[in-house]
């Protein structure tokens, strides 16, 4: 990526503990961690045999390094590959992987490893939760989005005919290994999209972190120690929220800052990633959530401008109109929002904010006000 | 069934609490409970909409009574039917039901209800665990086996190419309603098979209960208050064990008394229920577990005779030779036992006993000793 700052090949490791009682686990973060993955896994799951699930793209880039480290640690493993892309999160791949993990004769104490981005992590986690009613599970996320979001918190799942992530389990890994050096191989667009979730942690609950990001985002992109720091602080932020609300009964909804609008935008383009990827939807969605909060008199113009400046500085989209191609009308967006799984008994729930780092969940938002706001934004 | 004792149409309800912290729930037991199911469900899950899953056989017998009670309680519901039989516990029915629950537009707080035996309960529970990563779940077991075993403890799942119950989740219901009057419609063979699990609770940990069963089993079969008592004590026994070991890390293995041999017998006849149903396999398996314990010098001939007498009194099979048709040789049984999911890292684990009500888990059983024992039993 950016080549003005040259990152060290191997950095000191940081550990974030996700505190969930008997289901607690560590997230290890650092450059070059992949080379030591085998010994890390062997330390947590001594004697386990592994089924490693990777998509074809990630397998081409990182599988050899990863499996070399497994062999070096004396771990026995089987590799299972799946096609790259969102359509892999389906019932038929779920069934196929369950059968293949059983083919490999893994026992209950053995482990299923997800090596890849969110798609592989979500699918593999659900497989791990279901085979023998629960195998050990290890996440080795290879995208920024997966490192700071999908591999923390235990949400696993596949997509259904009715929508994304509608079938799955809350299932915690035994270990997460986030090698920040592998992010050097990510396309810039994907890095940026993951960064939207990093910025989200500042915006929802940590003004100081957001200010730090405003100062240090270039180094985060470049791969310096600031990248490790940003990943670790993001994981810690999510871990704290998940520890308070593992099964999404309350506070965890804060993590949806920008996501109600964001999901609606993704659905509106039929999840065509050439037009919009998840993190871009979140970026536009966070901007809309701040503008909507400002409309409700909750925050100032200055706060809105500050969010706008940072997201555009890093190259993220902030306006619906930045999405290429035709978009539906406000009524269609409202239908999509009403179907969103975060809707509870007909009322609209949004994450709003009272300032940088001061997001809150509002369950009684009037649909008419949202509709008017969206109409205006679509015509802007 | 037996008509020497005439049972009252509606009995006083008994409640067994399954104590699992935030996942605790009640099992309600009594004659005629089905007629009050709607109000019971509404009390635990106020305002929930329901998807009721039943197989075609149970739907013909009990669906109208059940849905009438839902309507009377003002509950909104959708009925989803599946074919009767073990082959319904498969990936394709799992996918179909997940989609249909979503079709019904149930939200996360809404409930999926299993009305039926173990097949419907296991499949439906896994669906409930997976849709939206966890819907509320209610069990209305209509067989004795389901009332005393599969609907207590949260094991849900489907079968895989590699074996039974290999894919699933530990997922607790919000409520279990066991109407002991519906057992009057069970074929005697199925009632007996369920009774094998009732006797198991006495044999594994409660000598006093086993002695009570020796005295009262006729009334249990006839449907008197003794039936409610037997179901309640069985549920309590399982609930106590599950509360101590929800995720089957230790003590819960006691519930497998008779099951390692029993599963091997079921597998040996390719799960052909015309030859052997699960409870019959458990009955023969329990007899073998006692004979094997006696062989190891753990129990006396008298104890073995007492178990033999009670199981034969109620009409359950106790010898491998009672299974109709050709059976495999001891080597094949040993292969099946070695593949059993209760095998840990190659060592053979068996539930053995030191007397009536004194079962224990032995992890280091020598396969050669088991093999010799089985050879002798097959030649006997």
We report the CATH number of the domain holding residue A349 as: 1.20.1090.10
User: Is some CB atom of chain B closer than 8 A to the CB atom of A161?
Assistant: yes
3-state secondary structure of B113: strand
Structure tokens at A221: 């992109």
> Looking at the structure, do residues A236 and A272 belong to the same domain, yes or no?
yes
Q: What is the pLDDT of residues A56-84, one digit of tens each?
A: 999 999 999 999 999 999 999 999 999 99
Q: Is residue A32 part of a domain?
A: yes
What is residue B324's predicted lDDT score, i.e. its pLDDT?
Answer: 95
Residues of A in contact with B109 (CB under 8 A): 344-345
Give the DSSP letter of residue A346: T
Q: Please tell me the least confidently modeled range out of A3-7, A19-23, A89-93, B325-329.
A: A3-7
**pLDDT given at position B2:** 44
> A374 and A249, same structural domain?
yes
**End residue of a domain, out of B155, B186, B217:** B186
What is the pTM (predicted TM-score) of this model? 0.93
Please report residues of B whose CB lies closer than 8 A to that of A95: 91
Tokens for B187? 């074929």
Between CA B125 and CA B111 the distance in angstroms is 11
Among A186, A211, A240, residue at a domain's last position: A186
Among A167, A174, A244, A343, most B C-beta atoms within 10 A, so best to mutate, is: A167
Q: Give the C-alpha separation, B237 to B228, whole Å.
A: 14
Q: Which of A154, A186, A218 is the last residue of a domain?
A: A186
A72 and A215 within one domain: no
* Shortest CA gap B57–chain A (Å): 28
What is the predicted pLDDT for the residue at B343?
Answer: 53
In sequence order, the 6+-apart residues with CB closer than 8 A to the CB of B55 are B81, B82, B83, B84, B85, B88, B116, B117, B119, B120
Give the mutation candidate from A49, A76, A133, A252 for the B interface (greatest B CB count, under 10 A).
A133
* A182 and A232 inside one domain: no
Count CB neighbours of A83 within 10 A. 11
On whether any CB of chain A is under 8 Å from the CB of B345, the answer is yes
The answer for residues whose C-beta is within 8 angstroms of residue A254's C-beta and 6 or more apart is: A204, A205, A241, A351, A359, A360, A361
Strands B77-82 and B50-55: parallel
Q: Which residues of B touch A108 (CB under 8 A)?
A: 341, 344
Structural domains of chain B, count:
2
The answer to whether residue A8 is domain-embedded is no
Do B225 and B331 have their domain in common? yes
CA A304, distance to chain mean position in Å, is 24
The answer to whether B123 touches B89, Cβ cutoff 8 Å, is: yes
Which of A235-249, A318-332, B113-127, B260-274 holds the top average pLDDT? B113-127
Domain, as residue range, for B34:
14-186
Q: Which residues of A touch B174 (CB under 8 A)?
A: none
Domain co-membership, B211 together with B331: yes
| Inside any domain, residue B8 | no
Active site residue A259: yes
In a domain, A4, yes or no: no
Residues A60 and A180 reside in one and the same domain: yes
The answer to whether the beta carbons of residues B82 and B93 sit under 8 Å apart is yes
Residue A2 lies in a domain: no
CB atoms within 10 A of CB A368: 9
d(C-alpha A116, C-alpha A143), whole Å: 7
pLDDT tens track of chain B, all 380 residues?
Answer: 444 444 555 667 899 999 999 899 999 999 999 999 999 999 999 999 999 999 999 999 999 999 999 999 999 999 999 999 999 999 999 999 999 999 999 988 899 999 999 999 999 999 999 999 999 999 999 999 999 998 899 999 999 998 889 999 999 999 999 999 999 999 999 999 999 999 999 999 999 999 999 999 999 999 989 999 999 999 999 999 999 988 888 889 999 999 999 999 999 999 899 999 999 999 999 999 999 999 999 999 999 999 999 999 999 999 999 999 999 999 998 888 877 645 555 678 899 999 999 999 998 898 889 999 999 999 87
How many beta-carbon contacts under 8 Å exist across A and B? 87
- A1 is a domain residue: no
A96 and A178 in a common domain: yes
Identify whether residues A177 and A219 lie together within a single domain. no
Q: Which residues of B are catalytic?
A: 133, 155, 197, 238, 248, 252, 256, 259, 263, 278
CB-neighbour burial class of residue B375 (10 A; exposed 0-12, middle 13-18, buried 19+)? middle
- Is residue B7 a part of any domain in this protein? no
**Do B44 and B173 fall within a single domain?**
yes
- Residue A251: what pLDDT? 86
- Is the domain of A239 the same as that of A123? no
SS3 content of chain B, % helix, strand, coil (to 5): 55, 20, 30
* Smallest CA–CA distance from B157 into chain A, residue: A133
In a domain, A131, yes or no: yes
Distance between CA A227 and CA A175 in Å, rounded?
20
Residues B240 and B310 in one domain: yes
Mean pLDDT, chain A, rounded, equals 93
- CATH code where residue B47 lies: 3.40.50.1970
CA distance A276 to chain B (A): 24
Give CA–CA dist A137/A53, Å, rounded: 11
B162: contact with A, CB 8 A cutoff:
yes
């Amino acid at each position: 990526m950016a080549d003005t700052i040259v990152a060290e090949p191997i950095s000191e490791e940081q550990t974030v503990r996700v505190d969930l009682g008997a289901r607690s686990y560590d997230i290890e973060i650092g450059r070059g961690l992949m080379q030591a993955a085998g010994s890390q896994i062997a330390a947590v799951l001594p004697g386990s045999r592994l089924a490693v699930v990777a998509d074809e793209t990630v397998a081409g880039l990182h599988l050899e390094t990863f499996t070399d480290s497994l062999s070096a640690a004396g771990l026995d493993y089987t590799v299972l590959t799946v096609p790259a892309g969102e359509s892999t999160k389906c019932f038929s791949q779920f069934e196929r992987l369950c059968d293949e993990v059983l083919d490999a004769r893994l026992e209950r104490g053995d482990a299923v490893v997800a090596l890849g981005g969110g798609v592989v992590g979500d699918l593999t986690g659900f497989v791990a939760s279901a085979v023998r009613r629960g195998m050990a599970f290890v996440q080795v996320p290879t995208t920024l989005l997966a490192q700071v979001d999908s591999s923390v918190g235990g949400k696993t799942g596949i997509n259904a005919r009715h929508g994304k992530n509608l079938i799955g389990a809350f299932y915690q890994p035994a270990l997460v290994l986030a090698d920040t050096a592998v992010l050097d191989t990510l396309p810039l667009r994907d890095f940026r999209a993951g960064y939207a979730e990093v910025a989200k942690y500042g915006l929802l609950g940590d003004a100081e972190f957001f200010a730090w990001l405003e100062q240090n985002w270039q180094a985060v992109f470049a791969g310096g120690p600031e990248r490790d720091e940003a990943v670790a602080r993001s994981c810690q932020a999510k871990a704290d929220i998940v520890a308070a609300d593992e099964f999404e009964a309350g506070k965890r909804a804060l993590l949806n800052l920008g996501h109600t609008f964001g999901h609606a935008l993704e659905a509106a383009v039929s999840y065509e990633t050439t037009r919009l990827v998840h993190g871009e939807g979140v970026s536009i969605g966070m901007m809309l959530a701040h503008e909507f909060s400002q409309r409700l008199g909750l925050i100032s113009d200055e706060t809105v401008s500050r969010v706008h400046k940072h997201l555009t500085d890093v190259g993220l989209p902030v306006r619906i109109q930045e999405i290429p191609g035709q978009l539906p009308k406000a009524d269609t967006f409202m239908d999509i929002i009403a179907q969103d799984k975060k809707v509870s008994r007909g009322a609209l729930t949004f994450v709003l904010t009272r300032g940088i780092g001061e997001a809150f969940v509002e369950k009684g938002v009037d649909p008419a006000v949202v509709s008017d706001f969206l109409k205006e934004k679509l015509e802007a």
